[in-house]
Structure formats: C-alpha cells, structure tokens
Structure 1
Amino acid sequence: MLTFLSPAKSLNFEIEVPQLDYSQPLFKQETAKLVEQLKQLSAADIKNLMHVSDNIAQLNYERYKNFRNSFQLPYAKPAALVFTGEVYKGLHANDYTAEDWQFAQEHLRILSGLYGMLRPLDLIQPYRLEMGTKFSFNGYKNLYEYWKEKVTEEIKKELSKQENPVIINLASAEYFKVIDKKILDTEIITPVFKDNKNGTYKTIMMYAKNARGKMASFIVKNKITNPEHLKAFDEDGYIFNKLLSGNSEWVFTRG
C-alpha cells in the first residue's frame, strides 16, 4: 500500500533535524535539468510565472541561483520535516520513532513539481514550484508532461514490491493528476473529509488538509498495509460514513 501527499508551499529550513538515515531524491538528474531552466529566469519572470509577490519571487530567484547538484545537510533537509502547512501539521513527523520512519520510507510518498516524487527522508533544498505551474521548457508543454511517465513508472515499480498494491490518495487533484492511472491499473482509494454545516456535509479545505496529514500519520504509526483498516480512523471526530462512501471514494464525516 502506497499513500500519497501533496507538498506544501511553506517550508521551514531552520529546524534541527534528528540523526536519521537520510536518502537522496529519486529523480536528482531530472530535478537538475529543471533547475537549469529555472536558473535562467529573472525574479520578474518568476513573479509572472508563479503569480507571487515581489518578495516571494526574489526569494525563489535566489533559491534557484544557489541550488546545488548535491544534497547534503545542512543546506538540504528531509522532506517530511521541512514542509509546513495544514497537511504537515497533521502528519507531525517530528514525533516519529525509528520504526515509523522506516515504514514511512517504504509506504509514504510526496508528489512535487520540482522533485517529481519524494520519500519522507529524501533530502531536499528549498524551492517553490507547484505542479500546476504553466512552465514549458525543452519541448515539454508543462510539468505534468515532464513528470508523468517518470513518476508513474517509479510508482509501478514500487507497487510491485508491496504486499497490497493499493494506492491511498491523500494528495490534491492538482498533484495526483501527474500519475497516469491507466498505466498503473491498480485500486485507488481517495479518502474525503467533510464537516456538517447546517445539515449538509461539506469539505472545508483547511480542516480537510489537516485530516489528510493525520490519516497519513495514522497509517504510519499503525503500520497499516490493508486499506480496510483505514475505516477505523477517528481522529478529531471524523468517522467513516458508509452511506456517503463509494468503492473508490471513502467519506469521513464529523458533526
């Protein structure tokens, strides 16, 4: 069973990281080619491309200018610890034991516009590049075209090693779209989190993102490899709602 998350736009590289067996990103060469193209952009180009403020554009111009081809501490840090935001508040990876990290490294993946796909302990350098960014380069129309085949083939290989070759999709639509589902031809379960608002269940994005992170952590801490066991998830008052759920979309409601 492989679980997928989206990355976060906000990063914290000031954190102290524990002594762990860190790994290198799977697609270092592909990332280097992408960074080569991004280094050619001015801060103004980045502002227009990413629709960000002058400050964020300048920050990312400097990030790419200083980007290195090697990934080592202290300028590179583990993905699951540097991403912040609601999903990663829910994931709370700084609480993980050595056994949790080992399980996460085998079963948890983070999709990324710059790195393609990351394992939790992969060392990364700071960046901003959303998967949906309309960036065309070297004959590729966009990042989906650049990453789709590479990421899908790697997932296919990893699923073949899994006892239960099922995908748990806790990523956003923007990121999960990079996976070619037809080629994988495997079961995909998408948990959805809804809150009761005036008698109607609705997705409230801030809460849903946090719940995605909490469910990913629930999988890691309980070493879940059978998706049926996800139905026991009950954090923050969410419970599995059989009536609203289908075969591939599992709805968890509260209130």
Structure 2
Amino acid sequence: MLVMLPPSEGKTPAATGAPVDLDALAHPDLTPLRAQVLDALVEVSARADAPATLGVSPGLAAEVARNTTLREAPAAPAARVYTGVLYAAAGLADLTPAARTRAAAHVRIVSGLWGVVTPTDRIPAYRLSMGTDLPGVGPLAAAWRGPLGDTLVAEAAGALVVDCRSATYLAAWTPPADADWVTVRVLREVDGRRSVVSHHAKHTRGVLTRHLLTRRGRAPRDADELAHAASALVGDALLAVELGAPPRRGARTLSLVVA
C-alpha cells in the first residue's frame, strides 16, 4: 500500500537543527533535480517580483523571503513541518513507534520542491506549489513527471495506491497500469443531497490516513480491502463509504460521505 498525500500550504519551520541534506532524503535518484529546483527557488525568491512569480499573495512575502535561506535553515521531519487541516487530522507527528514505522513504509508526500518525501525525511519549511512555472526549471509538474515515474514505479507496481492528492499534484505522477489505483473523494451530505467540499475533504483524507496507519492488522492490499477498512469509520467520522466500479483504465473512486 502507498498512501499518496499532497504537501500542506502552511508549514511549521523548525526552531533548531541541522539543515537539509539532499543526499539523506529517500529516493536519492531525485537528488539532481531536487538541487536544481532548490537553487532556482532560492534565486527567484530573492527577486522583488517573487510572490507574483510563485503565485502567492503579497501577504506571504515573508514566507517567500524565507526561501532564500533554505540551504542553511533548520530542517525537521516532514511529519512535523507539514501542517494544516489534512496533517492535523492525520497526526503523523504523534504516532506510536509501530504506526510511525508503518507511515515511513507506506506514506509518500508529493512536493514541488522535493519531488516526493517520506514523513521521516528532514526538510526545512518552504513556499512552493507544484503548479508553479519556476524560472530556470519550467512547469514543476512536467519537470517531476519523468523522474517520479522512474522512482515510484517500483513501489507502486502491483500495489494498492490510496491517492489523497489534489489535481495539482496528481499532474506530477500517475501510478503504473498494474497498480490498484484508488482516488479518495469526499462528499458532504445535507438533507439527502451531496456536494464536494474542500475543507471537509482535507480533514477526512487525514482521518482516513491515520486510520490506515493505526488500525490493527495488515495494510489493505486492494481496493475492496481498502473500502472494508474505511467502513470502520462509518458511524463515527463518516456517514457512508462507497467504492466505484473498476474503470477500463485509470483510478477507481472511493467516496467518503460526511455530514
């Protein structure tokens, strides 16, 4: 099983600690492109037009300026750096040792800067979206597509891929055809009518992630086992769990219905 997560927009900087060591991150074959993206981001972030170039509001200028020190900034496990609704619900930073080991084995976080990291990889806080057209690199989703395909194919081949990413990060990597690929959709039901809502989606995907990491028994091996595992949340976090029929190609959809 691979649980694919997007990064959070908000991040918590480490107060102390050694800086990022690119060679120590998981999937070292991505190191050359990581270094290229990192250097380009540091250079762009020092420019007066950096917020506009990176597609963020002027109010986030301080976070963009922090990018200029990424080579020297303290790093911390990604589980602590990534914050926000999904990560608050997943609670990756406060898992038991056994669940932490499971998270390191099964959770992958797709990033515009690092390509992909595990929860234990030590990184600094940064500001960069996968949707950015980064000067010196180009559109990041396109830049990462080939390297991520080469890197993740061995982990995803023949495996269950539980995809909690947004469309921006889906564009950077598609699981191989022999993977049992399931995208997680969250619907809100009010008076019998259902609609898609982003805030509930992030929270509920986080709840599902934590459940998969902390529940007893082995990890789900296919879409049906995933739906059965998620059904344990019905009556507590969920109203219903519905697994879509297998498509001719692409992902199945696991719909999680919340009140």
Do both share a fold (TM > 0.5)? yes
Aligned 1:1-255 pairs, distance under 5 A: 1-14=1-14, 24-26=25-27, 27-41=30-44, 42-61=46-65, 63-68=66-71, 75-138=74-137, 141-160=138-157, 165-181=159-175, 183-222=176-215, 223-227=218-222, 228-231=224-227, 232-233=229-230, 234=233, 235-241=236-242, 245-247=244-246, 248-255=252-259
How far off is 1:184 after superposition? Answer: 4.8
CA distance in 2 between counterparts of 1:86 and 1:31 reads 26
How far off is 1:103 after superposition? Answer: 0.9
SS in 2 for 1:145: helix
Deviations 1:86-135 (A, max 9, x none): 11011012331111111111111000000000111000111111101122
Where does the alignment leave 5 or more consecutive residues of structure 1 unmatched?
18-22
Letter in 2 for 1:194: L
Contact 2:220 2:226 (C-alpha < 8 Å) held by counterparts: no
Contact 1:167 1:188 (C-alpha < 8 Å) held by counterparts: yes
- Name the TM-score, length of structure 1 as normaliser: 0.83
CA distance in 2 between counterparts of 1:91 and 1:103 reads 13
CA distance in 1 between counterparts of 2:97 and 2:258 reads 32
Q: Give the % identical residues.
A: 23
CA distance in 1 between counterparts of 2:191 and 2:4 reads 32
How far off is 1:79 after superposition? Answer: 0.7
- Name the TM-score, length of structure 2 as normaliser: 0.82
The aligned length equals 237
Where does the alignment leave 5 or more consecutive residues of structure 2 unmatched?
18-23, 247-251
Distance 1:105 1:9, change over 3 A: same
CA distance in 1 between counterparts of 2:33 and 2:98 reads 30
Equivalent residue number for residue 21 of structure 2: none
Distance 1:15 1:206, change over 3 A: farther
Letter in 2 for 1:240: V
